[in-house]
Structures are given as structure tokens and as C-alpha cells.
């Protein structure tokens, strides 16, 4: 069984307290074991410094470019780059230009993120 869609068919959602917009492809496709989403950033936009409770996350840069903080490390990511981050690592992305990012978390756990300010 499979469930197809295109990213642009999925309406972007604004989420309170989070700057980039989300195309919730996971909500559209309803996978059982993973939680995918496409995040759209404007230049210089960042997400919250956060980590996950359980989810390992796969990041795929679809377009544009990012600086990614993982703990004390800094990575430059460009279109086509892929990174996997373990759940307990603190991370933040900042777009260097208008950018699009596929993020897949597994296991599929709702509200798994822990924001640094909420500790």
C-alpha cells in the first residue's frame, strides 16, 4: 500500500511560536512509524533550539542552504545534504536564503519536541 502526494499540494501551516511554516505531509499521508514534514524558511529565519524526547530525525535539504547547530558543532548544509540527529542532541537551523527542508522523525510520536526555553 502507498499514499502519494506532492509537497505543493499540501497547504502550509503556521505554528504558534515557530517561525518557519510547515507542510505537514505526514498529516496528509498518515504513516504509522515515521513523522515527515516539509519546513519552509525565509532567509535568516531560524527554528527554536530544541531536542526530541524519542525521535531520531533525518534532515534533507531540498533547496537553499542552512547553518545547523548540533550541540556545540556548526554545519553548513546545502541542497542535497542529509543529516541524522539523535533524539537528545540540541539542534537549531538557520536559513542562509529562502530554503525548504524535509524532516522525518521516527518513531511517530506526537509533540515529542522539547524547546530549550521550556526546560
Residue for cell digits 525565509?
Answer: 42
pLDDT, tens digit, for every residue of 59-105?
Answer: 999 999 999 999 999 999 999 999 999 999 999 999 999 999 999 99
Residue (of 41, 8, 37) closest to 112 by Cα position? 37
Q: Does domain 22-101 have CATH number 3.60.15.10?
A: no
pLDDT, tens digit, for every residue of 89-101?
Answer: 999 999 999 999 9
The pLDDT, as a whole number, for residue 118 is 55
Domain boundaries, the chain: 22-101
Handedness of CA 72, 73, 74, 75 (dihedral sign): negative
Q: How confident is the model at residue 4 (pLDDT cuts 50, 70, 90)?
A: confident
Torsion over CA of 106, 99, 92 and 15, rounded to 10 degrees?
-70
Which residue did the predictor score with more confidence, 68 or 20?
68
The pLDDT, as a whole number, for residue 99 is 98
pLDDT, tens digit, for every residue of 44-56?
Answer: 999 999 999 999 9
Phi then psi dihedrals of residue 73, to 5 deg: -90, 155
Cβ-based neighbours of 2, under 8 Å, separated by 6 or more: none
Phi then psi dihedrals of residue 8, to 5 deg: -70, -15
Q: Is the pTM of this model over 0.85?
A: yes
Amino acid at each position: 500500500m502507498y499514499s502519494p502526494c506532492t509537497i505543493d499540494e499540501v497547504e502550509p501551516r503556521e505554528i504558534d511560536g515557530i517561525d518557519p511554516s510547515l507542510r505537514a505531509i505526514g498529516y496528509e499521508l498518515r504513516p504509522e512509524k515515521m513523522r515527515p514534514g516539509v519546513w519552509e524558511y525565509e532567509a535568516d529565519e531560524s527554528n527554536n533550539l530544541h531536542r526530541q524526547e524519542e525521535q531520531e530525525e533525518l534532515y534533507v535539504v531540498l533547496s537553499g542552504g542552512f547553518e545547523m547547530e548540533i550541540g556545540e558543532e556548526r554545519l553548513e548544509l546545502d541542497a542535497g545534504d542529509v543529516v541524522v540527529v539523535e533524539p537528545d542532541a540540541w539542534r537549531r537551523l538557520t536559513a542562509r536564503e529562502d530554503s525548504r527542508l524535509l524532516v522525518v522523525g521516527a518513531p511517530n510520536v506526537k509533540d515529542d519536541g522539547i524547546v530549550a526555553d521550556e526546560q
